[in-house]
Structure 1
Amino acid sequence: MMNVMGIGGFRAVIKYDPEIEMFRGEFTDLNGGADFYAGDIEALKREGAQSLKVFLDMCEEDGVEPRKSYSGKFNVRVSTTLHEEIARAAAAEGKSLNQWVAEVLDQAAHR
């Protein structure tokens, strides 16, 4: 997946901030905020590892689960026209709307 860096078993989304001319990493699967900055990839890896360590140490100290949990459910609002088109596409493939959407999202998330 583009712009995602694995650090210590966790994943961070990486973006470049042209205003400060640095890369910014933000962990997405933590049960709280932890971000880090650096001017190059090697430094970004080091800063990410340090940021993660601080976060994990704090979680351990407070008795908090560090990894974010997901229920597997979320609501998506779309236009009535798109809803109709999605339902038609799902029916054409002999799938439920939920099954069709889950497969499309899975494909998009793993590009």
Structure 2
Amino acid sequence: MNTLKYKGFIGSVAFSETDGVFFGKIEGIDGLVNFEGESVTELTNSFHEAVEDYLAYCEEEGIEPHKSYSGTLNIRLTPDIHNRVAVLAKQAGISINAFIRNAVEKQVAAML
């Protein structure tokens, strides 16, 4: 998926060949904020404007701009990977949950 980034927000990007327009929405928020443009520059400017408008709205309403997450995540693994994770977690003396959390935290840190 193509994305734009601005002020800690991510915007998804798609193209409608029928309409000849780029479009997207701000991801990771409790709500729906769309933006569009006929060129990359216009799309980028529209995204920045949408983020600014959304931030102003959140400030006026006294709401948190970013989506809140519970911290609970269900994942699907193949039985083989599940087995390998269980063995590695046991060898490390930790739970499967702690093993997966550590792996995800390392991956996220490496990508930042």
User: TM-score, normalization: structure 1?
Assistant: 0.67
1:26 maps to a residue whose letter is K
Counterpart of 2:34 in structure 1 is 35
CA distance in 2, matches of 1:16, 1:87: 43
CA distance in 2, matches of 1:17, 1:81: 40
- Superposed, 1:21-32 pairs within 5 Å as 21-32=20-31
- Superposed, 1:69-84 pairs within 5 Å as 69-76=68-75
Counterpart of 1:20 in structure 2 is 19
Q: Secondary structure at the match of 1:14?
A: strand
Kindly tell me the number of residue pairs found equivalent between the two proteins.
109
Are 2:50 and 1:44 aligned? no
- CA root-mean-square deviation: 3.2
Q: Secondary structure at the match of 1:16?
A: strand
Q: Which runs of 5+ in 2 are unaligned?
A: none
2:4 maps to a residue whose letter is M
2:43 maps to a residue whose letter is L
Counterpart of 1:54 in structure 2 is 53
CA distance in 2, matches of 1:100, 1:27: 32
CA distance in 2, matches of 1:87, 1:43: 49
CA distance in 2, matches of 1:21, 1:86: 47
Query: Deviation digits for residues 22-79 of structure 1, max 9, x if unmatched?
Result: 1112111223211101111111111011111111111111111111122221234689
1:4 maps to a residue whose letter is T
Specify whether residues 87 and 51 from structure 1 end up closer, same or farther in structure 2 by C-alpha distance, changes over 3 A only: same
**Greater relative contact order (CA < 8 Å, ≥ 6 in sequence):** 1
Identity of aligned residues (%): 29
CA distance in 2, matches of 1:98, 1:69: 21
2:32 maps to a residue whose letter is G
